[in-house]
Chains A and B, each alone.
Chain A
Amino acid sequence: MRAIGIILAGGNNHRMKELTQKRASSAMPVAGSYRSIDFALSSMSNSHIQKVAVLTQYNSRSLNEHLSSSKWWDFGRKQGGLYVLTPAVTADNSNWYRGTADAIYQNIHFLKNSHEPYVIIASGDGVYKMDFGKLLEYHINKKADITVVCRDMEEDINVERFGTIKMNEECRIEEFEEKPLMAKTNTVSCGIYVIRRRQLIEMLEKCAEEDRYDFVRDILIRYKDIKKIYGYKIHDYWRNIASVDDYFSTNMDFLKPEVRDYFFNQYPDVYSKVDDLPPAKYNMGAQVKNSLISSGCIVNGVVEDSVVFKKSYIGNNCYIKNSIILNDVYIGDNTHIENCIVESHDTIRANSCYKGEDEIKIVIERDNRYVV
């Protein structure tokens, strides 16, 4: 592969509310067994990109733990491999990453020390599969300076929190607006870019001189008329996890057979860290309908239209409906949970009731757990 990969996983997002209090959005658990960064990492690995840097900053503990070994994504290599780059104090810099462009600029040695001619930049909070080989081919054929992956969003999705794109018939980007108040198109940027490595180094150095730090605003939008910036439209499943509602609906999408089939059955696979948990166990009284249950769970109650992550315990006579139960949650007997996201490692007392009325409720409960 003639490209190296950079995954931007440092961001926080206030629209994720309490969910990113203890983790970056790239480390959000998705679809029962994965974390959002697994999708970008697996796509890079499956596209034979050999050298990948993950830039982390905000609340990186959970993410670093997930990336503790590169072998799960087949990056445990002598040639290339996985680089986790956190902000570091150096002789001439003592700043945090001040933006996406700055994050890459602060690690410009990674770009300078590589020999591959292209760089693929992706955000760590997208849920998708992509063949970056085809993307690069498109970029080369178009003789583009930068290629931006984009997608027409469905009618019911509010595109005003994305970057919206208007392209001409040759797919050259004419307009690019970041989080417009009033979107003119429903084509949004997926936050995945291809750029020639030397070009990127040059642009980043220029930006740094001018104290500009944001990749979208200070490179894409600023250069769109003088550089050839093309859009590469995808049609397959793509979501990004930028708000509680996105997060909830993305997980619920996995209850649809076509989405499950696309991610779980069709080649190539999505990889994740292996947790060595036993099979899920269903005791007397378990009644599970239209739900995903992950390994290590023990179910004694009723679960409907929900996604239950790893190692959760659901007590007798519980009723869980239309909810997401994150990793290692203990739910005591006779508990009713509806329209909720239950934060990981929660312990919920017996006989509790949590119900999201107009919106999804985030449940954070830190009661004492008595381990049997």
Chain B
Amino acid sequence: MIKKEMIAMLLAGGQGSRLGVLTSKVAKPAVAFGGKYRIIDFPLSNCINSGVDTVGVLTQYQPLRLNTHIGIGIPWDLDRNIGGVTVLPPYEKSSNSEWYTGTANAIYQNIDYMESFNPEYVLILSGDHIYKMDYEVMLDFHKANNAEVTIAVMPVPMEEASRFGIMIADENHKINEFEEKPANPRSNLASMGIYIFNWKTLKEALIAMADQPALDFGKHIIPYCHERQLPLYAYEFHGYWKDVGTLNSYWEANMELIDIVPEFNLYEEYWKIYTKSEILPPQYLSKDSVVERSIIGEGSNIYGQVYNSVIGCGVTIGEGTVVRDSIIMNNSVIKKNCELNKAIIAEQTVIGDNVKLGEGEEAENDTAPHIYNHGIVTVGEKSVVPDGITVGKNSVIFGVTTADDYENSSLASGKTLIKAGE
């Protein structure tokens, strides 16, 4: 009989709407990060590096890119005879067909998948954080404490604690109480959305709570276990962990990779991050190019100047173009004599000659100021910006635009130009 000690369930179905146009066509876990990676590469690489070789990936929102990226799991060595990676979309049932309505509901709908591996423990992960973590150490902690549920937590600054689910634990790390986004937090241990459950306990809780609408781990399953006075433990994590949920935090996390010795170091041999690489050739820097404080992916051609930026694979930066403080994703082309300041350019975008992005004074975004802020210019994937356009700050462009879409060849700060349909 197949038996796996611990299997992982990776929640990758969310849209991540605060990443704006970056997630209009792809799920957040499939968004590019750090030049050549996608966000989901981090939890998947953590799994294989921790010895977890069975991973169910729950997808729902815009799964195409995610599916093609994961494939049969070859890049992560997750192509296994038994186990490996399995993509789990919602499916039709003889009664009660529904989408995944909440994090725990998605797991509930896949009880059969988990049961088939006969696991002792189930690790619940989310596909939208950047971190390196050895889940085996967390499992050892879980076992040593005879816990039923272990929640990974991380100390956060007290003033930010009200944005998180907060755990109040005693000196033995046993959780006494918890609060979801408390106004006056009594602890600074924030839940990272990483849980280890004893499989029997999880199954029992999921079945008992099955009828709860939008069944959620933080809101329903953890309280259910707590009410039954099961031993809940908090596993404190002190490494680098970044929620890249907003455009600004996404931009910041990318920029942190450029530091001379980055806090999150991709160059460590013993904890490699794996990804599907389609482009192999080296990058070419021409005789007129200038590249400083930047990271650049395979197969890119740099003819212009790049400062303080993260450039993906297969990108072309034309002659005379100056790129500063920007993120440019795979296979985008920036033509000649452009100026980019604090721009995020999604994949396969073409920026014409003499385009200026991030010019002038900041102004609040007219459609979604909570998404487009901090002066970042965002251009969605497969967009085209024609020659000679000047674009202000906090603005957003998505779709194939032509000169007719711009007044006086410019888009003022805070303006939104979205031509592609949803």
Contact = CB atoms under 8 A, between A and B. Distances in A.
Contacts of A309: 282
Contacts of B281: 31-33, 260, 263-264
Interface string A277-310: 0111111111111111111101000001001110
B274 A279 contact: no
A272 B285 contact: no
B282 A276 contact: no
Contacts of B280: 33-34, 269-272, 274
B275 interface: yes
A278 B267 contact: yes
A288 B275 contact: no
Given A279-B36, A289-B286, A295 B291 contact: no
Contact of B291 (A34, A278, A282): A282
B296 A280 contact: yes
User: Which of B272, B273, B295 neighbours the largest number of chain A CB atoms within 10 Å of its CB?
Assistant: B295
Given A71-B74, A279-B35, A283-B293, A288 B285 contact: yes
Contacts of B291: 282, 286, 288
B75 interface: yes
Contacts of A295: 36, 282, 297-298
Interface in B271-310: 272-275, 277, 280-299, 310
Nearest to A283: B260
A254 to B, nearest CB: 8
B282 A279 contact: no
A276 B272 contact: yes
User: Which of B277, B283, B290, B293 neighbours the largest number of chain A CB atoms within 10 Å of its CB?
Assistant: B283
B266 interface: yes
Interface residues of B, number: 37
Task: Determine chain B's interface SS by DSSP, over half rule.
Answer: loop
Interface size class of A (residues with CB under 8 A): 35 or more
B34 interface: yes
B114 to A, nearest CB: 29
Interface string B239-274: 000000000000000000010100000110000111
Given A260-B284, A274-B280, A295-B282, A279 B295 contact: yes
A332 B36 CA distance: 27
A288 B35 CA distance: 19
A291 B286 CA distance: 7
Contacts of B289: 288-289
B274 A282 contact: no
Interface in B322-346: none
Contact of A33 (B272, B274, B298): B298
Contacts of A292: 282-284
Contacts of A287: 290, 292
Contacts of A289: 285-289
Nearest to A71: B74
B277 A274 contact: yes
B267 A296 contact: yes
B159 to A, nearest CB: 33
Contacts of A290: 285-287
6 contacts: A33-B281, A279-B296, A279-B297, A282-B293, A284-B260, A287-B292
Top 8 closest A-B pairs, CB basis? A32-B282, A279-B35, A278-B266, A294-B282, A290-B287, A264-B281, A292-B282, A279-B295
